[in-house]
Chain A
C-alpha cells in the first residue's frame, strides 16, 4: 500500500489533490456526480466583503489547450458565504476546506480573512493577492514585494487559521515576492494564479472577453507553473501548494518533485467534472509505477 497522505502544517490531507478556487464552486455541482470526500480538500470561490456580480460577459474565451476567464470574483459576499454556502457545503464535504480570500484594500482582506478563519470547517486561508481580473485603482497587491508583505501581515494579524498567500505569475521575479511573504509571516504559499491573456474575435475584430484581458489557465500553463514552483521552493522554506494546468496524476508527481506539498486542479474540473476524482483514483498506480511508497518522500526531490 502506497501512502498518499501529506501534511500542510497541522493539517493532514488524505491525498494532495485540491480543486482550485473558482473552478469548483462550493462543491455542490460536483457532489451531484460523486462523493467529493475522496478529495484531499478543496478551495472554494474567492470571497470579498460585499456581494459582487463580477465583470460583464462574455467572460470566457477558448484557447489552444486552455481558457481565459474574467469572471471578476463573482461571489455572494462574506456574510452570505458564512450563513448560506458553508452550511450547505458541510452537507456534502466533511473535511476541512480552504477559504480563498480576496479584497480591494488591506482592510477588506483583513476583514474577510478574520471572518472566514473563525469558521470551523475552514482549515486554512488562501489569500488571493494576484487576481488579474479586477482593477481597483490599478493596484494588484501581488505585483510588488511590499504590498504582498503588507497584505500578509494584515491577514496574519487577525487570522485564526494558517495563512497561505496565493502568488501571481505576472511578475518579473516570483521568488522575490515569495520571500517577502515568508518574511511577513505567511504559513505557506500557493501558486500560480492565472496568466494574463487575451483573444480577438476575427468577425467582430474586437476582444472576445468584454473586459478585453483575462486570466489564462489550463493545460498550456503547466510548464510555467512547474517552473514557478521550482524557483519558489529554492527561495523559501514554508510549504507550497502548486497549481496550473494539472490534469493527471503524473503531473501531480511532477509538481511535488518541484517542491509542492499539495496540488490544486483548476480548469480541468470545468472540462471534465470528474477530473479531480480521477486523479485521486489514478495516483496510487502511478506512484507504484515510479517506485514511490510515500508521497511525502518526494517533495522537492528534483532539486539539488
Chain B
C-alpha cells in the first residue's frame, strides 16, 4: 500500500453513466491486476474503492459508474485536479493458475479489472477469451479496447440490443482452462454454477479503510474469515461460502 497524489489527466464519459479517468502519479505500489485503489474525495468522509483498470509507469486508469454522491462528484473532476489516493490495495488475480486458455467474464463495472488482467495474461503467452455482459447497448464499454489486445470478445446484453441476448453465462466458449470474473454478486454465483473449471472471483463490500485496519469488510470463507480489502477482493471458486 502507498498513499500518493495523482493528477487527473483525462476524465470522460464512455457509456451511460460510466466514466474513464486517467491519472498521473506513482503507480509503483500496484503489483497485480485485480487490485484496487481508494480515493479521497472532498466532501466525503470515507474513501471510494475503485479497481485498477490499467496501469503503466506513471499512469493509472480507472473506469467507474456514477451511482451516488461520491461518483457523481468524481465525474465532474477536470484535468489538473489533484487526488489523494491509496494504491496497491488487495491481493489481485493470480495468473499462475490460468492454463493456456483462460476465460474472462465481466459484468457491468466488473469489466475494468479484467482489462489489466487480460494484458498480463497475454504477456505471459496465454490466449484469453473475453465475455463482457451488460444490461443494454448504451451501457457497453471497453469492447474495442479488449479487441485491440487481439483477443476474442463476446458481448452479451440482457435485452439483446447488442451481441448475444442474455447473461455472460449464455456465451461460454467450448474450451477454456480456467476463469476469472468480476461483477455483481448474482452474476458471480451464476458464473460459479455454469463454469466447469476452477476460477477466481472478485468481490465488493462496503469499506471503512480499504487496507485491513477496521474489519468492516470481512466475509466468511471455507478457508477462514477474510477481509475483502486485504485477503481479497479476489477469492478462489473453491473457497467461497455462498
Contacts and interface: CB of A to CB of B under 8 A. Distances in A.
B215 A61 contact: no
Interface stretch (A19-27, A107-115, A160-168): A19-27
A160 to B, nearest CB: 28
Interface of A: 22-25, 29-30, 32-33, 45, 53-54, 57-67, 69, 71, 74, 208, 218-219, 267, 269-274
Given A53-B218, A60-B214, A273 B3 contact: yes
21 contacts: A25-B213, A29-B211, A54-B215, A57-B216, A58-B205, A61-B206, A62-B45, A66-B45, A67-B46, A67-B208, A69-B216, A71-B218, A74-B225, A208-B206, A267-B45, A267-B208, A270-B46, A273-B1, A273-B209, A273-B211, A274-B3
B206 A71 contact: no
Contacts of A218: 45
Interface string B44-66: 11110000000000000000000
B153 interface: no
B3 A71 contact: no
Say what secondary structure dominates the interface of chain A. Answer: loop
Contact of A57 (B45, B46, B213, B218): B218
A66 B47 CA distance: 12
Give chain B's interface secondary structure class: loop
B217 interface: yes
A272 B225 CA distance: 25
B187 interface: no
Contacts of A29: 1, 211-213, 230
Given A57-B216, A270-B46, 9 more contacts: A23-B213, A25-B212, A29-B213, A33-B3, A57-B205, A57-B218, A219-B45, A269-B213, A273-B209
B41 to A, nearest CB: 11
A214 to B, nearest CB: 10
B214 A62 contact: no
B4 to A, nearest CB: 12
A267 B217 CA distance: 15
B165 interface: no
Interface in B212-237: 212-220, 225, 230
Interface of B: 1, 3, 40, 44-47, 86, 205-209, 211-220, 225, 230
Contact of B209 (A53, A63, A270): A270
A46 to B, nearest CB: 10
Contact of A53 (B44, B211, B214, B220): B220
Contact of A60 (B86, B217, B225, B230): B217
A57 B207 CA distance: 10
A63 B45 contact: yes
Contact of A24 (B3, B213, B225): B213
Nearest to B210: A270
Nearest to A218: B45
Contacts of B47: 271
Q: Which 9 A-B pairs have the closest CB atoms?
A: A270-B209, A60-B216, A58-B206, A60-B206, A74-B215, A60-B208, A29-B212, A25-B213, A62-B46
A71 B45 contact: no
B211 A60 contact: no
Contacts of A25: 212-215
